[in-house]
Amino acid sequence: MNRRTFLKAGTLAACAAFADSRTAFAADTEIEILTAEPGALISPHIYGHFIEHLGGVIYDGVWVGRDSKIPNVDGIRKQFVDDMKRIGAPNLRWPGGCFADGYHWRDGIGKSSARPRRYNFWQSRMPAGLDATESNQFGIHEFMHLCRLVGAEPYVAANVGSGTPKEFHDWVSYCNAPAGTVSLADERATNGDKDPFGIRYWGVGNESWGCGGTMRPGEYAAKYREFVTQFPVYKDPFLVATGPRGHSADGDIGWTTGFFEGMRGATPPHGFSLHFYTDLRPTPLKAGSFDAREWYEVLLRGVRLNKVIEDHWNEMGKFDAAHRTKLIVDEWGVWYAPGSEITPAYILSETITLRDAIHTGLTFDVFNRHADKIAMANVAQTVNCIHSLFLAQGDKFVRTPVYHVFDMYRSHMGARQVPVRHRVPDLNVPAMAGQASLPGLSTSASVRDGRLTLTMTNPSLDADLTLRIRLGGAHATEAHARILTHQNMQATNTFADLDEVKPAVHSIKVASDALELGLPKQSVVAVECGIS
Ligand code: AHR
C-alpha cells in the first residue's frame, strides 16, 4: 500500500471518499521528535496492575496453593511471578474492585485452615450452579509476598462501602506500624511478618457511585473526609479518592465537580481514581470474532480516553489550580459482553486478540502524553479478567498479545516524555454508527540517559506507513525496533498456540539525524535508540 503520491495532508484530510483516506499518502511520512524539549516524567506506575477476588483472577490465576503440582512459590503461581518480573510490573492493586467494599481484612489473616469462608460480591454474577464463596486463602500476607517476589509496589483498596474508619485505620496500623510498637504490629509479627509492609498507596473505597456504596459525590466526599482524617501515618501516604465513571455517556463530570465541591476546605487527596472501560457490553460486539467495522469501533471508543482525561483534569483545576491531586486511572481495558470465557466460572475472562493489543498501544500513548496528569494506571485486570496479560487454568498458562505491548513499552517507565509532531491525516473508517474519524497514527516518545524510546501504533487495516523520523537536532548512534503485528486481525494466543502473536525484530535504518522504518498496517512498533 506504499504509493508515492506526495499529496498534502490537508488535501487528504478533506478527501473522505475512501474507507481509508490515508492510502494515497502512505509514503515518506515525516515525524519530528523534539528531543531537546523533555517534559514530564512518565511515572513507572502508569504501567501498573490490578487483581481482584473475582472469577479465576486470584484463585488459579495467581494463587494455586502451597500443595499444588503447578510450579509455585509458597502457593503463588511461579510463571505469573516470573512474567510480572520480566515486564517490571511497578505495582499491584488489590483486593478489588467491587470486592474491596465487601472485604474485611481480618478474614484473610492467621492460620489458613481457620480462616472463614465468606460471601463474595461476584457470587450473584456467577452462572447458575457455580459458586464463588471466598475462602480467604489469599490475604494481606500472601498479597505482600507476591508484591515482594515481583518487586511491585502494593496499592490496597480499603473498604468504605461496608467497613468503618476504625477497620481501615486498624488495617493500616497492622500493615505499617513498626515491630514492637502497637499491638497490631505484634499480631502481624505473630502471623509471619515482623517487618512492616510499608504500604503507601491506599484507595479509599472503589466506585463509590456504584458497587462501593451507591453514593452521591457530596456523600462520598463526607465519607472520604471521615475515613482519612485519623489515618495512621506510619509511612508517607498516597491516598486515592474514588473518581468518576469516565466511560459514562456524559463522561461523568458531575462526579468530579460534586466531589471537589464537597472537599472545599479539606486536604485534597493525592490521587483521584478515574475508571475508563472501552465498554462493549451493551453492544453485539464479540471479543474474538469481528469485522473491520468492529475493529475500528473498539479503537474509536478507546481513544475517547484522551478527552475524558483532559475534561476531568480541567474540572479538577477549577478547585485546585496547582493540581496537587493527580489522576489515577486504576481500572482500564476493553470489556466485551460475556461469551469468550476460558471456562464459565472465570467470569469476565475474555479472548484477547491483536485488536486489544492495538488498543493497548493507543492507551499507553495517551497516558504517556498526559504524563504530567497521571500518577498511576492499572490494567483491569492482569490475569483471567477483561483486558488480561495472562490467561491461566490449572497447569495451562498463556501470555496474551496485551502482555507483549506492556513489554514493548516498558522503557518509557520513569523516562521523560518528549513531544512528537507529525502530519499523518486521520483515517476515515467504518464504525457502528457510520463513517468516523480515527487518528491515523498514534505515538509517544521519551528520553532518559541519552536513550530515546519511541512507540507507534498504526490502527489502519489497509495502509502501511513509511516513516522518516527526525530527532530534533540529536544524532542517532544506534537503533533497534520491535514490532507486534499479524496478518489476521483476529489473531490470538491460546493454550495450544502460545506464540501466535509475539513481537519480532523490525528493520530500522539509522541515518545520523533521522531514522527510517516502515510501520505496517495493524501494528505496534517500539524503537529504542541511542542519541547524542
Ligand atoms: O474490573 C471489574 C470491575 O469493574 C471492578 O470490580 C469494578 O471496580 C468495575 O466496575
DSSP string across 270-336? SEEEEEEEEE-TTSS--SS---HHHHHHHHHHHTTHHHHHHHHHHHHHHH-TT--SEEEEEEEEEEP
Please, are residues 381 and 334 in contact by the beta-carbon 8 Å criterion?
A: no
From 352, 382, 350, select the one nearest 490 (Cα to Cα). Answer: 352
| Spatial separation of the C-alpha atoms in residues 366 and 369, rounded to whole Å | 5
Q: How far is CA 207 from the centre of its chain?
A: 16
Per-residue model confidence as pLDDT tens digits over 167-179? 999 999 999 999 9
Report CA Rg, the chain.
Answer: 23
In this prediction, residue 518 carries a pLDDT of 96
The answer to whether residue 331 is catalytic is yes
In this prediction, residue 8 carries a pLDDT of 29
From 299, 296, 295, 429, select the one nearest 16 (Cα to Cα). Answer: 429
| Spatial separation of the C-alpha atoms in residues 429 and 356, rounded to whole Å | 18
Ligand 1 centre to CA of 57 (Å) is 12
Q: Which residue is listed with cell 525484530? A: 505
* Lookup: cell for 132: 464463588
Per-residue model confidence as pLDDT tens digits over 39-50? 999 999 999 999
In this prediction, residue 9 carries a pLDDT of 32
CA angle in degrees (0–180, nearest 5) for 25-31-37: 155
CB within 8 Å of 390: residues ≥ 6 apart: 61, 80, 83, 382, 383, 384, 397, 398, 399, 400, 403
Sheet arrangement for strand 514-519 = 420-422, 29-33, 465-470, 514-519, 509-511
Ligand 1 centre to CA of 207 (Å) is 8
From 330, 527, 513, select the one nearest 412 (Cα to Cα). Answer: 527
In this prediction, residue 28 carries a pLDDT of 67
Q: What is the DSSP letter of 489?
A: T
| Spatial separation of the C-alpha atoms in residues 4 and 11, rounded to whole Å | 15
Ligand 1 centre to CA of 405 (Å) is 22
pTM over 0.85: yes
Give the ligand 1 atom nearest the CA of 100.
6
Low-confidence ranges of the chain (pLDDT < 50): 1-27
| Spatial separation of the C-alpha atoms in residues 111 and 115, rounded to whole Å | 7
| Spatial separation of the C-alpha atoms in residues 83 and 63, rounded to whole Å | 15
Query: For a pocket test of ligand 1, which of 155, 331, 349, 381 has the largest count of ligand atoms closer than 8 A to its C-beta?
Result: 331
- CB-defined site of ligand 1, < 6 Å: 52, 96-98, 206-207, 331, 380-381, 386
Per-residue model confidence as pLDDT tens digits over 196-214? 999 999 999 999 999 999 9
| Spatial separation of the C-alpha atoms in residues 95 and 58, rounded to whole Å | 9
